[in-house]
Structures are given as C-alpha cells and as structure tokens.
C-alpha cells in the first residue's frame, strides 16, 4: 500500500510538472538589431582628408553588395572630389569589419570630415537615395522632401 501511495504521488507530481512546462510559452523572438557605427576613425579609411567618406562594407558572398558598391563608387569623382568612397570587403579587410562591429552587409555609412556618421543604409539602396543622402549631408535642405527614405 505504501508503494502504491508513493507511486501515485510521483505520478501526480509528474503530471503537474508536465502541465506547468506545457503552459510556459517561449519569449517571442526579438527583432534584429544590427550594429551601425556612429563614429569612424577617418585615418582607417582612404583619403582621410576628404570632406566626406562613403564607406561600403561588403562581403564576397553577398549577392546585393556588388550593386551597392558600384552605385557608391560613382560618387568618388575619380578620387579628386570632396567625397571619398571606399569598399571594405570582409575577407580583404576583416580587421575593419571587426573594429566597427559590422554584422550585416551591405552597409553604407556616410561620414563627415570628423568621422561622424551622418547617414547609413543597411541592405540594398537605390542610386537616387544614396546620391540624395550624400547631397543632403553635404548641403542640408538641398534634396526635396521624400527623397530621404532611409535612416
């Protein structure tokens, strides 16, 4: 009789534990929070004396990165203008990706002469949006409302 009572108590505890575990719901998945640097050391990049830097962080395994890099390269004006453009591919320059905590590509950063990131684009970007963002950074108020869709 004692064994039967102990067995019933253990079964009861197991049933209660199973019901409690079944009721527990996992926490909802959190949204993706990608690291976006807010400050760059301009000496880490090409033409640190240029008034503006467009840094394009990419990966050779990213299908979108090549198109984003090509759109940004058109802003360089042959290396003579006020905008320096540099593509930072992760396998070629892993230390810069690590230093700035880049965990998603393509990532375009537009930084001023002090390295303060004024604007960024994570993921694909149109040439119009990218060029408008650089124009707006260089001369605030120069782009019509609605041409500045990204943060």
User: Radius of gyration of the chain from Cα atoms?
Assistant: 26
CATH level 3 topology of 42-138: Glutaredoxin (3.40.30)
Can you list the positions of beta strands (E) in 1-151? Answer: 52-58, 83-89, 107-111, 117-122
Domain locations along the chain:
42-138
Residue appearing with tokens 């990706």: 97
Residues 6 or more apart whose Cβ sits within 8 Å of residue 130 = 54, 71, 72, 75, 108, 121
Q: For residue 146, is pLDDT > 70? A: no
- SS3 state of residue 142: coil
The predicted-structure confidence for 3-57, as pLDDT tens digits, reads as follows 778 777 788 888 877 776 677 766 666 667 888 999 999 999 999 999 999 999 9
């Amino acid at each position: 009789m004692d064994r039967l009572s102990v067995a019933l108590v253990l079964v009861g505890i197991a049933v209660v534990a199973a019901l409690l575990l079944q009721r527990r719901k996992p926490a909802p998945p959190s949204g993706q929070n990608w690291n976006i640097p807010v400050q760059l050391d301009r000496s880490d990049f090409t033409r640190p004396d240029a008034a503006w830097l467009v840094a394009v962080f990419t990966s050779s395994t990213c299908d979108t990165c090549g198109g984003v890099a090509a759109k940004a390269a058109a802003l360089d004006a042959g290396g003579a203008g006020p905008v320096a453009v540099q593509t930072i591919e992760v396998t070629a320059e892993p230390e810069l990706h690590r230093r700035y905590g880049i965990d998603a590509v393509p990532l375009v950063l537009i930084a001023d002469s002090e390295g303060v990131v004024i604007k960024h684009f994570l993921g694909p970007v149109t040439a119009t949006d990218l060029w408008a963002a650089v124009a707006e950074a260089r001369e605030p108020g120069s782009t019509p409302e609605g041409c500045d869709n990204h943060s």
